[in-house]
Amino acid sequence: MSDLRGLYQEVILDHSKRPRNFRVLEGANHRAEGYNPLCGDRVTIYVKLENDRIIDVAFQGSGCAISTSSASLLTESVKGKTLAEADAMFERFHALVTGEANGNQTSGVPLGKLEVFSGVAEFPLRVKCATLAWHTLRSALKDEGKTVTTE
Amino acid sequence: MAITPHQVTEPAARASWTKFDVERVRKDFPALDQTVHGKPLVYLDNAATSQKPLAVIEAEENFYRRDCSNIHRGVHELSERATRAYETARVKAQRFLNARDSREIVFVRGTTEAINLVAMSFGRKNIQAGDEILITAMEHHSNIVPWQILCEEKGAKLRVAPINDRGEVIFDEFEKLLGPKTRLAAVVHVSNVLGTINPVREMIEAAHRKNIPVLLDGAQAAPHLKVDVRALDCDFYAFSGHKLYGPTGIGVLYGKAELLDAMPPYQGGGDMISSVTFEKTVYNSLPYKFEAGTSNIAGGIGLGAAIDYLNRIGMENISAYEDELLAYATEAVSRIPGLKIIGTAERKAGVISFVMEGIHPHDVGTVLDQEGIAVRTGHHCAQPLMDRFGIPATTRASFAFYNTKGEVDALVAGIYKVKELLG
């Protein structure tokens, strides 16, 4: 069970049961949908961007505990950040959940609460759950306009 | 010609299988004897693929060690042996389904290819603009998408017979949808998600009253039930070797000879012709007309070995034991608070799908995996069925005759761990 406690940390369980910023964002000027065909997880990310800065961000969707909590914590983490800062955070987060040590360029980026996802690295099949919202955010910011899938 | 020893069903072995003994059966499956995350493996993902008995593993190995050569062409000893073994496997498949003739057994990659073959050959020839193909709401994607492709190509329409909340086809609705434009009904024999055993005999009778041929997707039925294509009077029957304790990449399409005869080839190439000139090609006879290129020879021989193995145990014994196991599991799992079984048909085989209040199936699967329990989570290649029940996914435990009541108990204990951790 120790690995499982590492995966399903209290913060993750809390955010999966009570996701923050779980709503349609009025006045959003960027939006994208993400889909994980493996488990059917769906997420829609709404962003209000002003002069390169994420003024507000929210999400909706349904998914497992990892994907829901990841989306919820994403919204808390990137709010107020610049595009470059959010991008660096994703790079760092990705390195964390895949267990890659190559976060050199971005290793200075503080992840804060997102550190609770470190346990995901022990569960390679769940990396897609943890990164779905982040890929979707990136798509929203680029206005790619197509559904992001993890496949 | 010498018959290799692994093809022979020894009377002594057959006689010893008068009583079903699960502990003895388990010893035939080397993969079952391992630990996963420090726990004994509890393999409950049999509807995805089954484990293989030594008899199958050795049959494939023996082919590659001693008989490896191409079939139907060579004049040398190895080719004769390989041809003999492969064609013997075809006869075994014929008897397994109680087909009239081994010419009615086409080897394919699996159920998916079998259905695609019928869609692309029978379908392209017989289905025109405005025609209809009837399926049910509980089909696997492999019995939906080939028909959608065909319908799009031809301007035909796919009709879907609805199911009730227990996961049973609403027979009257099915019958009503068999209309003057219906050219084929394609129906799953046993649902891979719900476990429902469809009343296929009655469905076929209803279709035949209107001269509509019926294809049965038997991927989940063949491993659990005695299938008799003549008693069912189905026109096509498809199943996969790998769900039947045989190798991956081999499966069977049964078709009535008169239908197969009238169908154009599915793929062109070697082995499916009797003569080729640049002006005209004469196609080979059944079943070779549908087997272009070098077949999965080892797979066919392995499937034959799997059928021998199942015959030694007896499909009736397998069905009886599995029914008992499923009833035990259903009773045990349904007592867990906050758990809902999806698929509660009166007649079921092999599968329990469930959802848990407030806990996503993917999380259930991860926790169970840490307990050594292999289940499937997701939409099980049946997204329209998930939509029908208004759920994104389920957790599915699917059983084989080598599973035990002790493993069901482990599953139940695992689900309680899920609740403790995530509930």
pLDDT per position as a tens digit, A92-105:
999 999 998 655 55
Distance CA A139, CA A31 (A): 8
Residue B314 contacts A, CB cutoff 8 Å: no
What are the two backbone dihedrals, phi and then psi, of residue A25, each rounded to the nearest 5 degrees?
-90, 115
Give Dmax over CA atoms of chain A in angstroms: 46
Contact B422 A125 (CB under 8 A): no
Rounded to 10 deg, the angle between the B54-62 and B297-313 helix axes is 150
- Point out the residue among B370, B386, B392 whose CB comes nearest to the CB of A4: B370
pLDDT at position B300, please? 98
| DSSP secondary structure letter of residue A106 | T
Q: What is the mean pLDDT of chain A?
A: 90
β-pair partners for B106: B253
Report how far residue B355's alpha carbon sits from residue A114's, in angstroms, rounded to the nearest whole number. 29
Active site residues of B: 381
Q: Does the distance separating the beta carbons of A62 and B363 come in below 8 Å?
A: no
* Residue in B358, B377, B421 closest to A8 by CB: B421
Q: Give the chain B residue nearest A68 (alpha carbons).
A: B360
Q: Which two tokens stand for residue A100?
A: 């890659």
Give the domain range for residue A108: 2-149
> Chain B contact for A94, CB < 8 A?
no
Shortest CA gap B83–chain A (Å): 40
Q: Decide if A41 touches B, using CB distance below 8 A.
A: yes
Q: What is the pLDDT of residue B7?
A: 44
The domain that holds A103 is classified in CATH as: 3.90.1010.10
First to last CA, chain A: 29
Q: How close B383 comes to chain A (CA, Å)?
A: 9
Contact A116, A9 (CB under 8 A): yes
What is the predicted pLDDT for the residue at B75?
87
Reported as a pLDDT band with limits 50, 70 and 90, residue A106 is low
Q: Rounded to a whole number, what is the distance in Å from the CA of B185 to chain A's nearest CA?
A: 28
Six-digit token pair at B402? Answer: 């080598």
Task: Note the pLDDT of residue B271.
Answer: 85
Number of folded domains in chain A? Answer: 1
As a three-state string, the secondary structure of chain B is CCCCHHHCCCHHHHHCCCCCCHHHHHCCCHHHCCEECCEECEECECCCCCCCCHHHHHHHHHHHHHHCCCCCCCCCHHHHHHHHHHHHHHHHHHHHHCCCCHHHEEEECCHHHHHHHHHHHHHHHHCCCCCEEEEECCCCHHHCHHHHHHHHHHCCEEEEECECCCCCECHHHHHHHCCCCEEEEEEECECCCCCEECCHHHHHHHHHHCCCCEEEECCCCCCCCCCCHHHHCCCEEEEECHHHCCCCCCEEEEECHHHHHHCCCCCCCCCCEEEECCCCEEECCCCHHHCCCCCCHHHHHHHHHHHHHHHHHCHHHHHHHHHHHHHHHHHHHHCCCCEEEECCCCCECCEEEEEECCECHHHHHHHHHHCCEECEEECCCCHHHHHHHCCCCEEEEECCCCCCHHHHHHHHHHHHHHHHHHC
Does the global pTM surpass 0.80?
yes
- Residue-level pLDDT at A105: 55
- Burial bucket for residue B129 (CB in 10 Å: 0-12, 13-18, 19+): exposed
Q: Which amino acid is at B148?
A: Q
Contact A4 B358 (CB under 8 A): no
Contact assignment for B367 to A66 by CB distance below 8 Å: no
Q: Which residues does residue B420 pair with via DSSP β-bridges, in sequence order?
A: none
- Angstrom distance (rounded) from CA A133 to CA A129: 8
Q: Does an H or E element contain A61, and which?
A: strand A53-62
Q: What is the pLDDT of residues A22-47, one digit of tens each?
A: 999 999 999 999 998 777 789 999 99
Q: Which candidate from A39, A66, A68 shows the least CB-CB separation from B377? A: A39
Model confidence at A2, pLDDT cuts 50, 70, 90, reads low
Contact B366 A7 (CB under 8 A): yes
Question: How many residue contacts between A and B have a Cβ separation below 8 Å?
Answer: 53
Q: Which of B367, B383, B393 sits opposite A4 (nearest CB)?
A: B367
Percent of chain A at pLDDT > 90 equals 77
User: Per the CB < 8 Å rule, is B421 touching A129?
Assistant: no
A47, containing H or E segment: strand A41-50
> What DSSP state is assigned to residue A29?
S
What residues pair up with B214 in beta bridges, in sequence order? B185
- CA-to-CA distance for B104 and B254, rounded, in angstroms? 6
Q: Taking every pair of C-alpha atoms in chain B, what is the biggest distance, in angstroms?
A: 72
Q: What is residue B8's predicted lDDT score, i.e. its pLDDT?
A: 41
Three-class secondary structure of residue A53 per DSSP: strand
Beta carbons of B51 and B32 less than 8 angstroms apart: yes
CA dist., res. B139 & res. B129, Å (int): 23
Contact between B366 and A4 using a beta-carbon 8 Å cutoff:
yes
Q: How many CB atoms lie within 10 A of CB B215?
A: 28
- A32: helix, strand or coil: strand
Structural domains of chain B sorted by starting position, each given as residue range(s) with its CATH number in brackets: 77-311 (3.40.640.10), 315-422 (3.90.1150.10)
Nearest to A129 among B37, B359, B362 (CB): B362
- The reply to whether A123 touches chain B by the CB within 8 Å rule is yes
Strand-pair category, B236-240 with B251-255: antiparallel
B421 CB near a chain A CB, below 8 Å? yes
Q: Would you give per-residue pLDDT tens digits along chain B (423 residues)?
A: 444 444 444 444 444 445 689 999 999 999 999 999 999 999 999 999 999 999 999 999 999 999 999 998 878 999 999 999 999 999 999 999 999 999 999 999 999 999 999 999 999 999 999 999 999 999 999 999 999 999 999 999 999 999 999 999 999 999 999 999 999 999 999 999 999 999 999 999 999 999 999 999 999 999 999 999 999 999 999 999 999 999 999 999 999 999 999 999 999 988 888 889 888 889 999 999 999 999 999 999 999 999 999 999 999 999 999 999 999 999 999 999 999 999 999 999 999 999 999 999 999 999 999 999 999 998 888 989 999 999 989 999 999 999 999 999 999 999 999 999 998
Q: Chain B partners of A5 at a C-beta cutoff of 8 Å?
A: 421
Q: Which of A2, A39, A62, A132 to mutate to test the interface with B (most CBs of B within 10 A)?
A: A39
The ipTM assigned to this model is: 0.88
Pick from B114, B112, B113, B107: which is nearest to B296 by CA? B107
pLDDT of residue A109: 77
Tallying the residues shown for chain A, one arrives at 151
Q: Which of B29, B33, B52, B42 is nearest to B249 (CA)?
A: B52
Q: What is the pLDDT of residue B9?
A: 44
Chain A's closest residue to B367, CA to CA, is A4
